[in-house]
Structure 1
Amino acid sequence: MTIEVRDGVTVIDGRPQVLVTADYPYYRDDPAVWADRLRAMRDELGIEVITSYIPWRHHQPEPDSAPDFTGRTHASRDVVGFIELCHRLGLKLVAKPGPFIHAEVTYGGLPDWVCPSSDPSIEPLLDADGAASLWSDGANRAGRPLPAPFGPVFSAKVTEWLSAVGKLVLDGTTHPDGPVILMQIANEGIYTNGARALSAYDYSASGLSFFRDRLRAWYGTLDEYDRVHATTSGSWDEIEPPRSWTGADSPERMRAYADWGRFHADYTAEVYRRWADAVGCSVPTVVNLNPPTVEELDDWLARVRPETWRDIAYGFTNWMGVVSTDPDSQARYVIAAKRAPGPNLEENWGFSVLYDQAYSDATTSYHQTLLALAAGATGFNVYTGAGTSGWLPDLDTAHTPPYPDCAPISADGSATEKAPVVRVLADFLALHGEEFLECGPVTGGAFGLYAPYAGIAAWAGPGQDGIPRCGGALRDFHDRMREAGLDYALLDLETVTAERLAAHASVTVPGGPFLHRHVQDLLAGYAASGGRVVLDGPAPHLDEDLRPYTVLADALGSAVGTGSGPVPGDVLEDAPVARVVSGHADAFLRAHPSRDVQYLTVLVQSDNDGPVRVETPHGVVELLSAQGGAAVVRLAGGALDDFVVKGLNGFLDSAVPARIAMSDAESQADRPADLARVGGTLRLLF
């Protein structure tokens, strides 16, 4: 009886599973209804795994009192009883102890007594200007300073909290004897700041101490540091990080910016490790990175390095806009899903008032859930599965019940019109999820990420001559590939293996003055074996230590190209893709390595009118879906098998009898409705 995360896939007792979960914030509800809400999510939504934060400020509001995990001070604090209830109801649990959780909780779930303005001994998190990083909520719009994670006083208090959760809540409740199968640490970075600019943090004394320790580890001696940076330093403590873009007319000047990006990656990894170690939980640990913003894509790429997290698994969230109407949101979503294999751990299925009225209908969330899965996610989360209506005032004074406003299970416990949509998708994945995970995306090439360039470009911004690109080159590549109807892979050049690289016919690589020696060797070998390397920029002439090294440039010779033009013709000709031939939609295809099985995902844009036709290697699939709708289709032996097609979108007043056809096979609803076939049985959802 085991649980592990294998290459981003949750494997329970040897069986890989698409991780389908729903969040339930027990701390916002009357304990008298916990059982009813959990049963509703299990029975109405088909959910077998619950996720829930464990808010520090809720369980330990006073510094001089031990955390209350059993309800001795208030029944809603009985998280031990909540976990036991999940177990009795046959539900598994992903426990999320923070210490920072956001979740629309006051001060992000931190207790007031760890705020630097309440306790001057607690060091604040600082930005590049030396100003405290603030967390603002509706109750305190001016914001309150956040504590620096490595500050000794706060670090000790966090360790006490997380250790208490581990010993008093999670010990004895983990799989296989208990329901807890995973633990999530932190939230969307550290303080929901995984996508913030590199200048946003951490310039506190403890943060800079960690930065200088990393410089010592990277460069070994001060002389080597000075050689690479063309500086003269009297001591490590004299070295200052960048605080603004002052230009970089040489590789030596670029390195200071790359160093700060590398620091952010190590800093994030170290915080995750320290906090996970403090809990000491026996089940795997995951995180939920928020996706990059458009403006700060390079900052995110420099910071988010899952390859350095050891035993901590990647996961991500979605709070970024309606992807069926916004290409920027769609690109951010795809990049987050492709950065590393892992589940979508928060998909907005319940908030229309806080975010966008489009979420009042299930179609928006369904569309985005399918996009994440098509782009590489290994699971999805319904955030939140049930509405809540009773929480202590100090937990959240900014929002009024219900929370959220339009969940699949309402705050009175009844199923809403969203419930059947969640249920049919959960059933489809329960039946086909293992096979879906075995299938690999059919791609037309790969993009190679080079984090040092992201660290430089994050500071320089767009349009700087002579400055290497990473995020901008990736976004251009994404747009070119999607315009051509091609899927793609993201590869981290510093860690990718030759075997994984060889799986792709081409790789587009940001160009610039330097590139790691082993990366140049890898790409040169790939090119010699017939792979196509497309350089988006100049060929490197230096290695990572800024010593002459031209192996890649020599290997490519006159074949050095640019990634700024259209997708190479040979890629278009060779890729067995799914391509939209009529209608405004996106299509993604996954294929099984050893069986004639494919999964087609079709994502219909909000302005589409009429049927969508998708050309696949086995023929044309035609479907009729609501505007903004989507479909997932299993193709077996070149024929239609199970599917889920969305025919209704109440937000857009779009209602059609959902239809799907391929060759001589056709299924259509007899009235405006969603249409599904799961296990060969047709379902209509009104």
Structure 2
Amino acid sequence: MSKRLSQPVTSKVSTHALRLNGKDTFLYSGEVHYFRIPRRYWEKHLQALVDAGCNAVSTYVPWSWHEFEEGTYDVTGRTHPERDILGFIELARKYNLYVTVKPGPYVMAETTDQGIPLWLTQNYPETLARNELGQPWGTAFVAIANPIFRDRASRWLKYFSGRAVVPNQAQPQGSVIMMQVCNEIGIFQWLGAQGDHSTSNIQAWQDYLRSQYPNLADLAQLLDRELKDYSDVAPPHENCETRRQFVQYRLWHDFHRQLYAGYVKFIVDALREAGVQVPLFTNIGGWVYGRAHEFALNGTFHRETARIQPDVLFGLDHIPEIVSPNNLHDGFIANQVARELQGRKGPLYSAELQCGSREHGVQPYPDELGLFYRHCIIHGLTGMNFYMFSQGRNPKGRGTDGPMFYWYNAVDYKAERQPSYPMIQTLGRWLQQNGDLIVNAERPASLGVGFYPYLYETEFLVPILGKGTKLNPAKLGLSLDPVAFRDRAYFDGVLRILMKKSIPYDLADLTTRTLGELKAYQRLVVLSNEMMDAQTQQRLADFVRGGGELILFPMIPSYDLNFAPCRILEKELGIKTLGQGKSNRIYMGELKDIPSPSLPLIVSDRGAKAIARDVDGNVIGIEKKVGKGSVRFFGFYVNYSIEEHPDLWSAMMKFDDLERNAVVDNDALSVEARFADGEGVLFVGNFHRMPMTGNLRVKNPRGGAPIELGSIELPSQNGLMLPIQASLSKGVTLVYALGELMEKMADTNGIRLVLRGLKGMAGRIELKSDKPIRFIKVDESPIAFDRKDKIVTAAYEQNGQNQTIEILV
């Protein structure tokens, strides 16, 4: 067991991390469902967490499991040993593990009732969510606006908090440090592409319309129809083929963002009234079949929550299933969406980081998961919860997928350690040495990429699980399907290429970032279709006129979000399009005959420099000065399907003059770095299924010339977090090592390092020492080294295990 603490634990939110007892701490946690594990195994599971280097345990707490009859609670195991959540928290205290609890109201977690007690919808059928025909979605789906549901949910949350959280939120150890607010709010509406048409929800809809349009005539004018009452505006569910229908769907989408924000506020208020003081978060889902295209859409569910509840954090799912170059960029984008929602403060916490699989036969492997975890950390995670660390067996009839819950976990339901466990243990030990650096480190980025949340408000128009789309862009007069556009041009186009080229960038929410925040970037890239609100158009125009550099494509907006004409950006930037050309072939500099998915727009080059043309010589890309700044506009986009596409993106966005934190001469390797207080960590990863070689260079966190690491060959599906300018003792610095720094210490007898590289990979260290170095040993065997001025280099063979490096000065 870990060393016991003597002072009460305080849990707060800092700039980058969770601050525990006044210290920014990397949260390294594992999900263990006490209700799915025989009590006799609980301690063994918690011991496995401690041995893996974890400092926390997380669990869902199903409302239906503990209030199985209305008003009858069991949190002590009185009726069933696996209901003793208080005993589970007490055991976590014994093992000095922090605790995160997630009591719903929804827990989902592949439980048949989603955590909602059956008695609730049986006794109070008015709490059921219903479709447009008035039919219930099912017995486990409730109307979150319903006052009876909220009353009973509040009663449960306050009871649980009073028994389990408030007495344990400031304990010397085993302290409850976070609570989750419901789970993946809005996911059922998204998956089913249907809203709740229950009486309570329809009333909330009408109240929303009334609050937004106090003058009914204004709403009637917007919808271009006669209205006698707000009840005349039924929620849309038909195909969207007219602009009036589109606007009505926009209102329906906006309403739900208000609804979710009000629901979160209701839960937060209940918890705070109960005396809960720990940080609160809600979780965002959206990975589908190993891709995160829909994560940004799920993130937009909470744009109003972020506004009215700025203290609520946003946990995120990371479920890549099969890690490959095709979804290399997905995790980073999800991180960035959550970071923007939080206003770029607090811990970036993956509440469900894949460890195992919901589906037997869909097996993730230790190397690829370890690679993905490291990639997420270098790109901002300061907290991670392995989901599921422990396998479970469902109580009879309570698992949607049968008796077993999850496969290929770190430990099985008896806590026997499985193949992924050593990988998690290795990363845990690395974080024990480097976690303080990670939670304070920055990843500098001089490029901003605009994120426009309204582009993602389509969940009721485009079902994610089939059924066909309700959106008809052509009949609306739109040139681009918004879903295809954001997935192909944005997500798997520009964002994928930026990751492939290891260009550091930030997503910047164009609706919430101030003009000053946008100006902090050397360059801003914005992908736009025909629709953009007036305020955002004006902000982008002011950005350019004030000295910013904007790259805009493939269209310039001509409407606001209500389909009213709005050409602010076109007017302010002086950009005029002349219709579509007849060829989709692009010519730019040395790049010739590059296909675009659609016919480009011809652009007037009056007062501008032509920088791209089609095969007929028509100008399709320009560059011009506007005010104190400049703009590049391209009337086309490309995705990434041929060898030349990355080079075209590079030319369009001028990658060559962007500062990078790390550089490798082989795009098949992914690199990035973080820095703090003159030290750094360099990530290098190979997402391919064959070895890859490249020459590495990283920015010097102490200033001066970049650090050259030379050649490195990485085995397939592997990654490393390499130390950069790590202080070892007075006058001695580890400039870099081609192995992960697991431990370091220095005393009068010299310096001792523990490095862990990959088996068969060449090991190399570079030291800077003010004094002569007498010898270097690897696992007690002396090795040769070279010295030039103050720089000492030594090579050795790595065995894939921890290797002790002894240095005598």
Alignment of 1:186 with 2:203, yes or no, is no
457 and 273 in structure 1: CA distance in 2 versus 1, 3 angstrom threshold: closer
Are 1:17 and 1:434, in contact at CA under 8 Å, matched by a contact in 2? yes
Which stretch of structure 1 is more off in the superposition, 531-540 or 50-59? 531-540
Question: In the TM superposition, what is the alpha-carbon distance from 1:112 to its structure 2 partner?
Answer: 2.6
Which of 16, 22, 32 is the aligned partner of 2:40?
Answer: 32
Structure 1 residues 454, 398: closer, same or farther in 2, change over 3 A? closer
How far apart are the structure 2 equivalents of 1:670 and 1:511? 49
Rounded to whole Å, the distance in 2 between the matches of 1:269 and 1:105 is: 25
SS of 2:167's partner is: coil
One-letter code aligned to 2:443: P
SS in 1 for 2:114: helix
Find the aligned partners of 1:45 and 1:665 in 2 and give their Cα distance.
33
1:581/1:614 contact within 8 Å kept: yes
Corresponding residue number in structure 2 for 1:421: 423
Instruction: State the 1:351 CA deviation.
Output: 3.1
Structure 2 distance, partners of 1:194, 1:662, is 54
Task: Name which of 49, 52, 59 aligns with 2:56.
Answer: 49
The aligned counterpart of 1:282 is: 277
1:2-13 matched pairs, under 5 angstroms: 2-6=10-14, 9-13=17-21
Which runs of 5 or more structure 2 residues have no equivalent in the other structure? 1-8, 340-347, 462-469, 576-630, 639-648, 700-705, 727-733, 743-757, 767-791
Q: CA deviation at 1:426?
A: 2.0
Q: C-alpha separation between the residues in 1 aligned to 2:544 and 2:632?
A: 11
Shift of 1:292: 4.6
Q: Are 1:393 and 2:396 an aligned pair?
A: yes
User: Per the alignment, in what secondary structure is the counterpart of residue 440 of structure 1?
Assistant: coil
Give, in angstroms, the shift of residue 542 of structure 1.
Answer: 6.0
Tell me, yes or no, if structure 1 residue 124 matches structure 2 residue 128.
Answer: yes
Equivalent position SS for 1:526: helix
Change (3 A) 1:276 1:301: closer
Contact 1:408 1:417 in 2 (8 A): yes
Q: Which residue of 2 aligns with 1:71?
A: 77
Q: Out of 650, 661, 683, which is 1:601 matched to?
A: 683
C-alpha separation between the residues in 1 aligned to 2:372 and 2:190?
Answer: 20
Contact in 2 for aligned 1:645/1:659 (Cα 8 Å): no
SS of 2:113's partner is helix
Instruction: Provide Cα deviations, 1:276-334, integer angstroms capped at 9, x if missing partner.
Output: 33233211111221135467467435424263343211111123421226x2x444433
Tell me the TM-score normalized by structure 1: 0.84
Q: CA deviation at 1:20?
A: 1.3
Retained in 2: the 8 A contact 1:8–1:313?
no
**Alpha-carbon distance in 1 for matches of 2:450, 2:460:** 17
1:525 is aligned to 542
Q: 1:561 and 2:664 equivalent?
A: no
Q: CA deviation at 1:21?
A: 0.8
Q: Aligned-pair distance for 1:481?
A: 1.8
- Write out per-residue CA displacement over residues 338-396 of structure 1, whole angstroms, 9 at most, x where no aligned residue: 10232111122233753622x2x32232122223223332221122333445x632443
In the alignment, which of 60, 64, 68 is matched to residue 67 of structure 2?
A: 60
Moved more, 495-504 or 611-620: 611-620
Cα offsets for 1:141-177 (capped at 9, x unmatched): xxx5512222233333222221211122212111356
Secondary structure of 1:632's counterpart equals strand
Partner amino acid, structure 1, of 2:170: H
Question: For residues 299-314 of structure 1, what are the structure 2 equivalents within 5 Å?
Answer: 299-300=297-298, 302-305=300-303, 307-308=306-307, 309-314=309-314
Aligned residue for 2:787? none
Q: Percent identity?
A: 19
Output the CA distance in 2 between the equivalents of 1:232 and 1:572. Answer: 57
The aligned amino acid for 1:14 is G
> Is contact 1:228-1:546 (8 Å) kept?
no
CA pair 388-340 structure 1, distance change in 2 beyond 3 A: closer
**Distance in 2 (alpha carbons) for counterparts of 1:571 and 1:246:** 40
Determine the C-alpha separation between the residues in 1 that align with 2:368 and 2:255. Answer: 37
Shift of 1:255: 2.8
Select 2:486's aligned residue among 463, 471, 478.
Answer: 471
Match of 1:324 in 2: 324
How much has 1:612 moved relative to structure 2?
4.5
- With over 3 angstroms needed to count, the CA separation of the structure-2 counterparts of 1:484 and 1:109, relative to structure 1, is same
Counterpart code for 1:183:
M
| Matched position secondary structure for 2:457 | helix
The 3-state SS of whatever aligns with 2:352 is strand
What residue identity is the alignment partner of 1:339?
Answer: V
- 1:660 is displaced (CA, Å) by 5.3
Gaps of at least 5 residues in structure 1 are 135-143, 647-654
Q: Comparing 276-285 with 458-467, which one deviates more in the overlay?
A: 458-467
Deviates more, 1:369-378 or 1:543-552: 543-552
Which residue of 260, 273, 277 maps to 1:268? 260
| CA contact 2:76–2:85 (8 Å) conserved in 1 | yes
- Of residues 311-320 and 149-158 in structure 1, the stretch that sits farther from structure 2 once superposed is 149-158
Counterpart code for 1:283: V
Deviation track 1:533-589 (CA, whole Å, cap 9, x = no partner) reads 233344345666877765533442244613725243534322224344237332233
- Measured in 2, the distance between the counterparts of 1:551 and 1:633 equals 48
Asked whether the 8 Å contact 1:640–1:665 carries over to 2, the reply is no
Deviation (angstroms), 1:486: 1.9
TM-superposed CA distance for 1:14, in Å, is 2.7
State the 1:93 CA deviation: 0.5
Measured in 2, the distance between the counterparts of 1:535 and 1:606 equals 32
Residue pair 1:578, 1:588 contacting (<8 A) in 2 also: yes
Q: Which of 627, 632, 648 is equivalent to 2:721?
A: 632
Partner of 2:760: 657
Give 1 or 2: higher strand fraction. 2
Describe the shift of the 1:365–1:113 C-alpha distance in structure 2 as closer, same or farther (beyond 3 A). Answer: farther
CA contact (8 A) 1:346 1:382 kept: yes
2:506 aligned to 489, 494, 500, which one? 489
Q: Which residue of 2 aligns with 1:344?
A: 350
TM-score between both structures, scaled by the size of structure 2: 0.72
Partner secondary structure for residue 323 of structure 1: coil
Find 1:238's aligned residue among 225, 232, 245. 232
CA distance in 1, matches of 2:497, 2:460: 22
Which residue in the other structure is 1:138 paired with? Answer: none
CA RMSD for the aligned pairs?
Answer: 3.4
**Aligned-pair CA distance for 1:463:** 6.7
Equivalents in 2 of 1:221, 1:621: separation in Å? 69
Q: Which one has a bigger Cα radius of gyration?
A: 2
What letter matches 1:629 in structure 2? N
| 3-state secondary structure, aligned to 1:106 | coil
Per-residue deviation at 1:235? 1.6
Counterpart residue number, 2:730: none
Residue of structure 2 in register with 1:167 after alignment: 162
Residue 749 of structure 2 is matched in structure 1 by none
Question: Are 1:247 and 2:241 counterparts?
Answer: yes
Whether the 8 Å CA contact 2:737–2:765 is kept in 1: the answer is: no
Once the 2 structures are TM-superposed, how far is the Cα of residue 640 of structure 1 from its aligned partner? 1.2
Aligned counterparts, 1:75-94, within 5 A: 75-94=81-100
CA distance in 2 between counterparts of 1:332 and 1:244 reads: 32
Kept in 2: contact 1:623–1:661 (CA 8 A)? no
Question: How many residues are matched?
Answer: 646
**Partner Cα separation in structure 1 for residue 693 and residue 358 of structure 2:** 28
Q: 2:669 aligns with which of 564, 585, 590?
A: 585
Gap change, CA 1:591 and 1:206, over 3 Å in 2: same
Report deviation, 1:496. Answer: 1.2
Structure 1 match to 2:750: none
Change in Cα spacing, 1:605 to 1:26, as seen in structure 2 (3 Å) is same
Amino acid across the alignment from 2:637: S
Task: Using the TM superposition, give the Cα deviation of residue 11 of structure 1 relative to its aligned residue in structure 2, in angstroms.
Answer: 1.7
> Does 2:212 correspond to 1:218?
yes
Summarize the Cα distance change of 1:130–1:504 in structure 2 as closer, same or farther, 3 Å threshold: farther
What is aligned with 1:110? 116
Alignment of 1:425-504 (within 5 A): 425-443=427-445, 445-455=447-457, 459=461, 464=474, 465-466=478-479, 469=482, 471-472=486-487, 473-475=489-491, 476-504=493-521
* Structure 1 residue 16: Cα displacement: 1.9
